Structure 1
């Protein structure tokens, strides 16, 4: 095949090539704006053919001692050439021994990741909604919701760090600036205990991340972010939050898929407090 041997690093000028691969893979959530942000925040690698077309890609996102691999795509005409394996190994080589590497596997990619040394460490459920049903927000004693202000950011980043286990502050600043809405939750003592974002993608209104001390507060954040909105919605949640699953069903969401969450070798996730109720995306965690 007409594949260039050298794995190259991809930059913002390659966003249109990445968009073509996402469309071919059936991932409509990603537009050129979203892909440009991801390229700015992570390190992307890929292969070209002799005509200079991007025919594969992978993203590596570093958050302190936690890294995430995502957007692993190989053009359908170039599959079974070992490009995926080589890209995954290249990303692993960019991290050190103390870094835990996570990824959300598709069914197609699962054998590749298992051979590369990843093991199952949970799962992620994807939900969609086409007709949102507001819920009655009864227990207001658990938290007070308000719109995000710039002076909230340090507290927000600290809450995110203890929930996710890695420092995403640079990414969060960019996400908040491009979001539809950012809502924060404070407890009775006035401490920030959670937050949530909504982002409009080409395919839907996407919720995440959602950090909250309980499924009740997480549901109230979604309720606030979805208020008055029309059209398709999406959210990806860690599967262990079963009570949140029930709240999402109440609001008109249905589960589309459950995908394996994998970790590299014998590593464990950094300390997390169980307050991560929704991911930014399957690629970013």
Structure 2
């Protein structure tokens, strides 16, 4: 009999193998951050092999995010995806808004579970970054590497942009990142930050938070300019000018998956300063 159980960090190699079975590129570092930030559920077959997974990241009682919903191709069509997603839903309060970013394949299931589309993200891939022709270097701002003394102000900036305090996740993500750039004005106020995180297939730029399009473009430039591999950034709706700059830098939109919510019909209050999400599992 196949049962849902909570998966532990020792099973990370098995989760990587599972993600590879559906063509996803989860790394050990990425999955470790998921464990440090939330709960991972799985189903195992009679041999003890993980054949399905789902993770839920809880940001207090104000919001939770579901991701890493994977069912091994050999076990599709057996209701496993529904059962494991329901396990995630049951792990938080019935009043807690739950968000997820759906694949086309998963969207019908999530609708049946009470999720509804509230927005979209634009997935951009760049095979070769080039500096935009009109890039001005944002000379009125100072771009620097993260320092621990910036932590509280970054968390506050992120909270206003994302809608909920993500202190634990932000700290774990910084530890995982290849680089974390902080942007300050001449009065030493933090006006933006961004991170780059390496996966087997590409380097993700995100989360990215900034007061303006120009600052956001500068963050991407500082994170991308010395990297020769494939880049990825997932951009929330309403950032058309920023996306135009990305396209002049070599980014191409390859997908526009829906953001879905359960237990709420709209996002928590956001100030419009979120330019790049961390990853779909984190919301």
The equivalent of 1:147 in structure 2 is: 145
**TM-aligned CA deviation for residue 123 of structure 1:** 0.5
Separation (CA, whole Å) in 2 of partners of 1:178 and 1:108: 30
Provide structure 1 residue ranges, at least 5 long, that are not aligned to the other structure.
none
The equivalent of 1:17 in structure 2 is: 14
Shifted more, 143-152 versus 246-255: the winner is: 143-152
Distance 1:266 1:177, change over 3 A: closer
The equivalent of 1:270 in structure 2 is: 268
The equivalent of 2:64 in structure 1 is: 67
Task: Give the TM-score taking structure 2 as reference length.
Answer: 0.95
Q: 1:167 aligns with which of 156, 165, 168?
A: 165
The equivalent of 2:102 in structure 1 is: 105
CA deviations on 1:85-107 (whole Å, 9 max, x unpaired) are 11122211111144211100000
Q: 2:255 aligns with which of 254, 257, 280?
A: 257
Q: Is the 8 A contact 1:183 1:195 kept in 2?
A: yes
- Aligned-partner SS, 1:122: strand
Q: Is the 8 A contact 2:98 2:261 kept in 1?
A: yes
Q: Is the 8 A contact 1:66 1:269 kept in 2?
A: no
Separation (CA, whole Å) in 1 of partners of 2:29 and 2:138: 37
Separation (CA, whole Å) in 2 of partners of 1:178 and 1:89: 29
Q: 1:121 aligns with which of 95, 118, 123?
A: 118
1:42 aligns with 2:38: yes
**TM-aligned CA deviation for residue 113 of structure 1:** 0.2
Task: Give the TM-score taking structure 1 as reference length.
Answer: 0.94
Separation (CA, whole Å) in 2 of partners of 1:192 and 1:157: 11
- Aligned-partner SS, 1:55: strand
Separation (CA, whole Å) in 1 of partners of 2:171 and 2:15: 23
The equivalent of 2:221 in structure 1 is: 223
Separation (CA, whole Å) in 2 of partners of 1:156 and 1:266: 27
1:91 aligns with 2:94: no
Q: Is the 8 A contact 1:100 1:268 kept in 2?
A: no
Separation (CA, whole Å) in 2 of partners of 1:77 and 1:121: 32
Distance 1:132 1:266, change over 3 A: same
- Aligned-partner SS, 1:47: strand
Q: Is the 8 A contact 1:142 1:217 kept in 2?
A: no
The equivalent of 1:54 in structure 2 is: 50
CA deviations on 1:15-43 (whole Å, 9 max, x unpaired) are 11211111011112x11222122122210
Q: 2:236 aligns with which of 238, 248, 261?
A: 238
1:204 aligns with 2:202: yes
Runs of 4+ in 1 over 4 A off after TM superposition: none
Q: Is the 8 A contact 1:129 1:254 kept in 2?
A: yes
Separation (CA, whole Å) in 2 of partners of 1:231 and 1:275: 27
Q: 1:248 aligns with which of 246, 249, 271?
A: 246
The equivalent of 1:186 in structure 2 is: 184
Q: Is the 8 A contact 1:59 1:71 kept in 2?
A: yes
**TM-aligned CA deviation for residue 201 of structure 1:** 1.5
